[in-house]
Amino acid sequence: MSKRVRSIVVLISGRGSNLAALVDYAQNSPDFVVAGVVSNRADAPGLAFASSQGIPTEVVDHALFGSREAFEHALAGVVDLFKSDAVVLAGFMRILTPSFVNRYAGRLINIHPSLLPAFPGLNTHERALEAGVRVHGATVHLVTAQLDHGPILDQAVVQVHENDTPEALARRVLELEHRMLPRAVSAFLHGKLKAKGERVPGALRLPLLTALSTTVAPE
């Protein structure tokens, strides 16, 4: 593979802490650059952060379009301006149609705060606690037309504690997301994570990021 610097465009809707983790990683390693950030919300705090780092930003406000297709047509036009190797959904809160997903097939990456295929969709931390699972976590995966589904690039695992709250669990998961996402994106861009059908065999060779305790809680 050539020495050309790989680049990504990051799609966000809000806070942008995963975006910040990607930018931090990119600034400290020659692995890839963040070419641009696109948000569907003009007030997304992640946009101000990107600008403060000198990264070009664009807003495509979904509320200004009459249909999902029209929004995505405009979104794709902006995403394509950045001519990136991969498109990373980092807290991008719009459901994408198969047509958009197919346009970026094989290079569209999402981070989801659960151990997929468990808990696709919203409120994953609440749902994990309600289900009584012992372990929870996050997944980085290639996007397919099915929501929160697709070849798994990496997963990180946290232990559920006695008296855990969704907020506390979310904090612990997010900490691992910030370590996992840049690492997975870098490995993907450098050909170390390639999908073979539904699976990404190389994913199993990445050291597993965990926040697990071996101590047993007293009865």
Q: Does 17 bind ligand GRF (CB under 6 A)?
A: yes
Non-local CB neighbours of 180 within 8 Å, separated by 6+ positions: 111, 138, 140, 154, 155, 156, 209
Q: Which of residues 136-165 bind ligand GRF (CB under 6 A)?
A: 138
- DSSP helix/strand/coil, 114: coil
Contact yes or no for 16/45 (Cβ under 8 A) = yes
Interface stretch with ligand GRF, choices 65-73, 107-115, 183-191, 201-209 (CB under 6 A): 107-115
Q: Which stretch binds ligand GRF (CB under 6 A): 16-24, 35-43, 57-65, 194-202?
A: 16-24
Token code pair at residue 123: 């409120």
Q: Which stretch binds ligand GRF (CB under 6 A): 24-32, 60-68, 110-118, 149-157?
A: 110-118
Q: How far apart are the C-alpha atoms of 25 and 67, rounded to whole Å?
A: 36
User: What count of other Cβ atoms lies within 10 Å of the Cβ of residue 215?
Assistant: 5
Q: Estimate to the nearest angstrom the gap between the alpha carbon of 206 and the chain centroid.
A: 17
- State which of residues 37, 177, 182, 185 lies at the interface with ligand GRF (CB under 6 A): 177
Q: Which residues are catalytic?
A: 112
Nearer to ligand GRF (CB atom), residue 72 or residue 177? 177
Q: Which is nearer to ligand GRF, 14 or 151 (CB)?
A: 14
Residue 111 phi/psi, 5-degree rounding, is -115, 130
Cβ count near 77 (within 10 Å) = 11
Q: By C-beta, is 91 or 151 nearer to ligand GRF?
A: 91
Return residues touching ligand GRF (CB under 6 A): 12, 14-19, 90-91, 111-113, 138, 174, 177
